[in-house]
Structure 1
């Protein structure tokens, strides 16, 4: 028995849900798939799959075997890919996690260029702001805002995001435009952002020369997602503070107007983070390089 091929075939049956689909994806006869899985079960002396005329499911032993062997298979294929032509033509699956704002407004709109350059890469993007465990969650890298302090992680700083303060013209109708952050305490409503999990509101600190001010004011609504923050602003619910690249198209179209232009917040650093204990695959390397290029080409990101 070709053990590697047998394990690869078994994992493909599990992932496709049938022997026929596995055979099609592997481009081999169906009876070969059946024979390889049976040989693997005989070698292990356990039943890995329950088979009926309609469906295939894993036994408890099969599920435990798949969980461990699928990881080993990925690492095996990754090593082979890296040692072959992977540097110029990486292939396989790349699992990335990033915040919703970056994904929706910056990364996904530009992904066509990444696919054109690396057509054999499959990119799985998890969109969340929650902390993730790169090892247990089987994620290759994450794109995160803020400083990274975990010594078990390697963080490559790729740029900084400036923020803008703005509001919908309908909200500003009949109201005086603020000239100083303190003006927001009088007759204005803010839309606030709070962190999921802790519920803590994100502080907004603005600077003008040597002067510093914190946006306080009352708020009608607070949200924990930048897309929802933007939607609330466009719905004329108050003044919002969000990344410039998320607001700029709306400002240019007249759906939002910028406020307090002389007052700026400290840009937020953006990093690509991966485990220090894992080999940096060519798949991660080309994605990191592409993200650096993406930030360099974006007018509303700051490269230092």
Structure 2
């Protein structure tokens, strides 16, 4: 039996979590998948999977073999992709993870141009800003907001996101217009943002002429998503400090009001990153360069 076929079946079983799902994705009978795994375990002389009627888990040897198999199959895919590139446009699937706000408001709206230029590429987007093992999750690259703390990633800067402190007009009419950041502590309410990665309350500061003021007040509503925070602020739940691109439209049409315009927020860095031990296929390199052009165009 072809070893590569058995290895691809093994990886698909692990990734999908069941023999039935793997068979469906490969469009072959479940019994064929079972034979592939049994034959592979027989040739290796080790047990790769612990299987019950309800659970499927890798053995210690299975985990080692899975990581090695991923790297081998990835190298083969890169070889195939590079050979194909010499004669045709890049093709295949790219798996990308992007934070909600960037996905919905910047990247996905720009994708029609990319996909029109590369009709043989598929983009599978996972929306989120999680701390994940990219190799284990089989993700090609990620866009991250904030500082990167993972030394196993290679990163390229996509620039910075400007921030703004603002509130809806209906909130201002109800609570009054604060003219100094210190006024927020006098009866105003924040829409509190919680970091989706750390679970900690995000603390923002404003700067002017060597002065620093914390954006501080009571809060009744907290959320770990910037799109959710924008929606809350738009509906009058409080003052929010968020990415300017998320609220620019509402600041322009008067639905929201920028507070303390003579003070400055700290811009937030953004990066695109990928595992350091992963050789990039041409399709992923093309996507990375395209993403950099999208963010540079927005500066």
* Alignment TM-score, normalising by the size of structure 1: 0.77
* Alignment TM-score, normalising by the size of structure 2: 0.78
Structure 2 counterpart of 1:120: 120
Structure 2 counterpart of 1:164: 164
1:173 and 1:20 map into 2 onto residues whose CA distance is 56
Structure 2 counterpart of 1:240: 240
Q: Deviations over 1:26-73 (max 9, x none)?
A: xxxx9xxx9999899779768xxxxxxxxxxx9x99xx6995656643
Q: Deviations over 1:182-238 (max 9, x none)?
A: 111223111111123643211111112322211111112111111110111112111
Q: Deviations over 1:60-112 (max 9, x none)?
A: 99xx6995656643431222212331697221121111211111111111111
Structure 2 counterpart of 1:231: 231
Q: Deviations over 1:129-155 (max 9, x none)?
A: 221112222211111122224332211
1:88 and 1:265 map into 2 onto residues whose CA distance is 47
2:236 and 2:25 map into 1 onto residues whose CA distance is 55
Q: What is the number of residues matched between the two proteins?
A: 283
Equivalent residues in 2 for 1:81-100 (5 A)?
81-85=81-85, 89-100=89-100
SS in 1 for 2:85: coil
Q: CA deviation at 1:252?
A: 2.6
Structure 2 counterpart of 1:138: 138
97 and 209 in structure 1: CA distance in 2 versus 1, 3 angstrom threshold? same
194 and 85 in structure 1: CA distance in 2 versus 1, 3 angstrom threshold? same
SS in 2 for 1:291: helix
Matched, 1:148 2:153: no
Contiguous gaps of at least 5 residues in structure 2: 14-18, 44-55
Q: CA deviation at 1:10?
A: 9.0
CA contact (8 A) 1:86 1:282 kept: no
Structure 2 counterpart of 1:259: 259
Structure 1 counterpart of 2:271: 271
